[in-house]
Amino acid sequence: MIIDGFSEKYEHSKITYVIGAYSTIHDCWYPRGEFENIEEAQDKLNDLCRRKYGKFAIFERIRSEVLTKLN
Task: Please determine, for residue 1, whether its predicted confidence score (pLDDT) is greater than 60.
Answer: no
Task: Please determine, for residue 19, whether its predicted confidence score (pLDDT) is greater than 60.
Answer: yes
DSSP letters spanning the chain: -------SEEEEEEEEEEEEEEETTTTEEEEEEEESSHHHHHHHHHHHHTSSS--EEEEEEEEEEEEE---
Instruction: Give 3's pLDDT tier (boundaries 50, 70, 90).
Output: low
d(CA 71, CA 67): 12
Task: Please determine, for residue 16, whether its predicted confidence score (pLDDT) is greater than 80.
Answer: yes
Higher local confidence (pLDDT), 10 or 66: 66
- pLDDT, tens digit, 9 for 90 and up, residues 23-60: 999 999 999 999 999 999 999 999 998 887 889 999 99
Nearest to 18 by CA among 53, 57, 51, 59: 59
